[in-house]
Amino acid sequence: MILSRRPDLERFLARPDPGIRAAVIYGRDLGVVRERAAQLANQVTEDPDDPFNVALLTEGDLAGDDARLEGELAAQSLMGGRRLVRLRLGGERAASEKLAVEALSRLLAGELNPDAFLLVEAGALGRDSTLRKAAEKAPACAVIPCYEDEVGDVARMAREALAKDGVGLSAEALALFVGRLPHERGVARREIERLALFLGPGSGVTAGPKDLEAFLGVEPEASLAGAASDAFGGRLAEAQAGLRRAALEGLSGPGAVRALGMHLGKLRRTLTLARNGAGLQEAAKASGVFWKDEREFLRQARSWSLETLDGVQGDILAADRACKTARAPDVLITERLALQIAAKARRIGL
């Protein structure tokens, strides 16, 4: 059963057909995939975080253990109630998709726990995907394709989320705000939550374009964010130019060091998630990487390792201490830090 029309999808997520025993939710926008998977999980089981009734697996869990997925689907609930098995696929291991197809077939054939529900969350699945084909042919499996939000979808989501917090935007302010948002659902939701906090939850404010000027200006400075990315990407000249622009704009040395530290933090979180089985692109999104910066960030993430980042961490802490020392030459300290980071990036192949 393919659910691509919004009314059909909303009805299903609110009250799933009891005859459906599995679901495959997929799409490029992993924020939408995760959101709809969470909605469905809440309907399938009373507590999606219950470790006795719910199992959450990634591709990393299946690597080297081909029987893990079917074993979880065959297991009986220890506390009563329906058992939920969630599988998150990053699309980087074809073997994982094959295991998912086999487990889906056996579950729907009645060979595993009849009270188990399989929920697969995946990235973009092409028409040639064996998992997509198998799921679409199975009457007891719901297939939910997720597409990137259109402008109207983002506007509606913003209106509804802000209304729950007792605040709102005028039509002009909403258009201005939505125009600054990416269409990736997870990132957009975080920005909407940040706006609600800015306006004051429960204040009843309906903000206009002028009211948003301060909020829209509270963005990471392009010169600093770009300089940090350039440094970790091995582009020293561009990094130093960005730092100098930031200095002319009145941004302090500690702020520049902080930007470099934030970039390192995103790389560290992304690599940690990837080491635990998440797909690299999925991990980058979860780490808050802006969609326009994703390609360059992934290039860096494929070269840096957690071990090489540990060496940079010490340099950043030392620079931060130096910048906070009286009469320290902030610009020189941050440029030297960028030089150290860019040099290490070049040595690892960037």
What contacts 195, CB < 8 A, 6 or more positions away?
158, 162, 177, 215
Does a structural domain hold residue 153?
Answer: no
Query: Which tokens go with 287?
Result: 């780490």
Q: Are residues 53 and 176 in the same domain?
A: no
Last residue of a domain, one of 172, 194, 217: 217
Give all strands of the β-sheet with 116-122 in edge-to-edge order. 54-58, 83-88, 116-122, 22-27, 141-146
Q: Are residues 13 and 76 in the same domain?
A: yes
Last residue of a domain, one of 112, 146, 180: 146
d(CA 319, CA 228): 14
- Which tens digit of pLDDT belongs to each residue from 216-261? 754 445 678 888 999 999 998 888 888 887 776 566 678 888 889 9
Structural domains of the chain, count: 3
Q: Are residues 276 and 168 in the same domain?
A: no
116-122 and 22-27 beta bridge pairing: parallel
Q: Are residues 51 and 134 in the same domain?
A: yes
- In the predicted structure, residue 40 carries a pLDDT above the cut 90: yes
- Which tens digit of pLDDT belongs to each residue from 260-296? 998 999 999 999 988 888 889 888 888 878 777 889 9
Higher pLDDT, 31 or 283: 283
Query: CA–CA distance from 242 to each of 239, 264, 307, 322, 335 (Å)?
Result: 5, 17, 27, 20, 10
DSSP-derived secondary structure letter, 77: P
Query: Which tokens go with 215?
Result: 């909020």
Structural domain for 200, as ranges: 158-217
Q: Are residues 333 and 211 in the same domain?
A: no
Task: Decide if 182 contacts 145 (C-beta within 8 A).
Answer: no
Does a structural domain hold residue 138?
Answer: yes
